[in-house]
Structure 1
């Protein structure tokens, strides 16, 4: 499983790189703040909404601490998607939120 740190994600965004970020936390968790531009697909719905994702794109999976996003990453990898898990999740995120 590919992994990226919250600091690396923030650096890429600050450098103007366009990232496809999927936040797999629950709706109420995301309401408290998410990475700008992140799309919320709660972990329990990933299997049912993966058709919304494009296999030709790369995705960064995010959750609170890295566990749920890790499970989503493993599942989507198995389905042929190009995904990377953001380790340590939003607990370690120091960048902007919306």
Structure 2
């Protein structure tokens, strides 16, 4: 029986004031929409953390969880450098839907 590829995502969301949230999921689009709808995280709901500013794909859930923990342990300056290495303007990398805004 062939092995099915898996996808896991480590992601960073930011608020307009650049408050950060780091998470892991197996469905990035769904999870971003959940955050935008205020589902699943009181922290992101409270601080309006909805912009996807960084994401990484992993094939192994253990690797993804390890990477999430690594990023969460970093100082803010290091997280900022990671985000700005891909998006200097902290642009939202997730497609918008009318319901998301």
Which has the greater radius of gyration? 2
TM-score after normalising by structure 1: 0.27
Q: TM-score, normalised by structure 2?
A: 0.27
Which is bigger in relative contact order (C-alpha 8 A, separation at least 6)?
A: 1
